[in-house]
Amino acid sequence: MDEAIYAWFFEFDPFAIHLLVCPCYFVLCDLGKNNGKGPRFEQTFGRFDMTAAYDFLRHAEADVLNDSVDLPHVLNQSMLFDAINSFSKLFGTRTIYMRAFAAYFALHPRHASATLSKHGAEFLPKGISVEEASKLGRIAAFQKFTEMFATQEGID
């Protein structure tokens, strides 16, 4: 999942990110299915609607070069945020990359719901204000947040 987060921050190909996110997401669905700790996004939208692009890429028709599929730009980030929350519930921790993504996602209303944005400060590393963090672009936020979370956790 960390690789997908890194790719998302640096705006790599959304289809490549999707191919990284989906297997992680589905494993978390399986691990949390019976204990209520699995991702919730699937329950609202249904697995097929979330994975049309993933399934298309995995099961391409031989010699069909002019076929296509849509991948809504918000799907990867929504799945990542949901998966991060599930991972945290299941394992009681988040990686530095997961923390950085959650902080950025929560602070930007175009990504997060208004309710989540109101609680954006809860996702931030110590020592940065919501106002300062909100002004950071994707790459700058990734660099700053990962550095701050690593320092906070005592990681070199």
pLDDT the model gives residue 61: 65
Show the domain range for 28.
1-85
User: Does one domain contain both 102 and 54?
Assistant: no
* Torsion angle in degrees (nearest 10) through CA of 145, 147, 151, 156: 150
d(CA 82, CA 143) in angstroms, rounded, equals: 22
User: Does one domain contain both 113 and 79?
Assistant: no
* Structural domains in the chain (count): 2
The tokens for 27 are 């494993």
User: Does one domain contain both 107 and 78?
Assistant: no
pLDDT the model gives residue 56: 58
pLDDT the model gives residue 94: 96
pLDDT the model gives residue 153: 85
User: Does one domain contain both 67 and 108?
Assistant: no
pTM: 0.81
Percentage of the chain beyond pLDDT 90 is: 51
Residues in the chain: 156
d(CA 142, CA 22) in angstroms, rounded, equals: 22
The Cα angle at residue 137 between residues 135 and 142, in degrees rounded to 5: 110
Last residue of a domain, one of 40, 60, 85: 85
User: Does one domain contain both 18 and 74?
Assistant: yes
CB 43 within 8 A of CB 75: no
User: Does one domain contain both 66 and 137?
Assistant: no
The tokens for 104 are 């950025």
Last residue of a domain, one of 38, 62, 85: 85
CB 98 within 8 A of CB 87: yes
pLDDT the model gives residue 117: 59
pLDDT the model gives residue 68: 56
User: Does one domain contain both 98 and 147?
Assistant: yes
User: Does one domain contain both 59 and 114?
Assistant: no
- Name residues of the chain where pLDDT drops below 70: 43-50, 52-73, 109-118, 156
pLDDT the model gives residue 40: 86
User: Does one domain contain both 115 and 80?
Assistant: no
